[in-house]
């Protein structure tokens, strides 16, 4: 009955529903973090199953009259060796079930993680046979799950790494070309603010992944504020807006930056989507947009 009730714990397979929970959490967490959580949960579940098998092997050996398995040795270790072996063979093992389960889990984890302290070891034929299977399963599972940990963490911090690489390149450029301090600070502020807005996403690169029609739809969406708020586009047809949208590009400017200089040749038209714009002439503000 002890074995059957313990194997009833295998209903923990319902924990596989954690996949559904993880998919929900994925809406709030990074995908890589959710994957890492799912892998660790899978590894713990595998260790639980193997621990149940290990306990059943020890109990079966006792019922078959084998008195040198891991359970009798556990009894000796905790000072309960005076119990009658006859009682063991009937399944009345004088050890708390929690103790036997924790010991089984301890053995399986030390085995499948290749640590193997050896204070709980296989001595009977059944234990050795099962241990060989555990080693094969553990080697594959350990390599599969924890072999991806580095890749997962790299994916989690890939954006941050690209940001630091870009800032390193900008600072090296400033240092190499002896850029004046004021201009260097403006460059760094611009790069930092642009990254904060775009999150390091190359919009043009993403749009190039899409076919022409889909690209036009995305461009319409990205420039919707311009088309909806400026009267110049109110009478434009859908075809005209789609043709214009794919030609638009978004630029970000830091406070104090000049868009155009007086007397400069103009080859583009700019629309203010967010923020404000000052028109300065002879060091005086003549318009505020």
pLDDT in tens, 40-90: 888 888 889 888 888 888 888 777 777 777 777 777 666 554 444 444 444
pLDDT score, position 31: 63
Q: Does the pTM exceed 0.75?
A: no
Cα–Cα distance measured from residue 255 to residue 253, given in angstroms and rounded to the nearest whole number: 7
Nearest partner of 68 among 81, 49, 79, 51, judged by Cα:
81
Nearest partner of 71 among 52, 94, 90, judged by Cα:
94
Cα–Cα distance measured from residue 26 to residue 65, given in angstroms and rounded to the nearest whole number: 52
> For residue 33, how many other CB atoms are within 10 A of its CB?
16
pLDDT score, position 176: 93
Q: On the CB side of 17, how many CA atoms lie within 13 Å of its CA?
A: 4
CB 105 within 8 A of CB 48: yes
pLDDT score, position 87: 46
Q: Which tokens is 16 given?
A: 């596989």
Q: Which residues contact 267 (CB under 8 A, 6 or more apart)?
A: none
Class of residue 34 by CB neighbours under 10 A (exposed 0-12, middle 13-18, buried 19+): buried
Q: Which tokens is 143 given?
A: 């390599």
pLDDT score, position 257: 79
Q: Which tokens is 134 given?
A: 């555990």
Q: Please give the helix or strand (H or E) that residue 217 lies within, else none.
A: helix 212-222
pLDDT in tens, 189-199: 888 888 888 87
Task: Domain ranges for the chain, please list them.
Answer: 2-155
Class of residue 134 by CB neighbours under 10 A (exposed 0-12, middle 13-18, buried 19+): buried
Dump the DSSP string for 164-195.
Answer: HHHHHHHHHHHHHTT--HHHHHHHHHHHHHHH
pLDDT score, position 82: 47
Spacing of C-alpha 148 from chain mean position: 11
Q: Which residues contact 26 (CB under 8 A, 6 or more apart)?
A: 34
Residues of the chain with pLDDT under 50: 1, 3, 6-7, 9-10, 12-13, 28, 81-91
pLDDT in tens, 263-286: 888 888 888 888 788 888 877 888
Coil/strand/helix, residue 281? strand
pLDDT score, position 156: 67
pLDDT score, position 217: 92
């Amino acid at each position: 009955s002890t074995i059957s009730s313990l194997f009833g714990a295998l209903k923990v397979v319902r924990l596989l529903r954690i996949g559904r929970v993880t998919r929900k959490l994925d809406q709030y967490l990074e995908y890589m973090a959710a994957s890492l959580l799912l892998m660790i949960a899978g590894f713990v579940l595998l260790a639980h199953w193997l621990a149940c098998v290990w306990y059943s092997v020890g109990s079966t050996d006792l019922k078959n009259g084998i008195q040198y398995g891991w359970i009798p040795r556990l009894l000796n270790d905790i000072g309960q060796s005076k119990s009658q072996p006859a009682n063991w063979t009937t399944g009345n093992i004088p050890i708390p079930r929690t103790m036997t389960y924790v010991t089984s889990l301890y053995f399986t984890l030390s085995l499948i993680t290749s640590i193997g302290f050896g204070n709980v070891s296989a001595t009977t034929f059944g234990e050795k046979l099962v241990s060989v299977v555990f080693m094969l399963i553990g080697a594959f599972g350990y390599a599969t799950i924890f072999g991806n940990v580095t890749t997962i963490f790299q994916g989690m911090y890939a954006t941050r790494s690209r940001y630091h690489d870009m800032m390193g390149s900008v600072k090296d450029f400033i240092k190499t070309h002896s850029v004046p301090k004021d201009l260097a600070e403006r460059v760094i502020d611009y790069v930092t603010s642009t990254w904060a807005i775009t999150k390091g996403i190359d919009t043009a690169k993403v749009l190039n992944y899409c076919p022409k029609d889909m690209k036009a739809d995305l461009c319409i969406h990205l420039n919707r504020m311009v088309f909806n708020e400026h009267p110049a586009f109110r009478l434009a047809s859908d075809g005209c807006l789609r043709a214009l949208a794919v030609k638009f590009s978004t630029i970000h400017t830091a406070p104090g930056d000049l868009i155009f200089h007086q007397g400069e040749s103009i080859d583009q038209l700019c629309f203010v989507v967010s923020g404000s714009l000052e028109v300065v002439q002879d060091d005086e503000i003549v318009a505020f947009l």
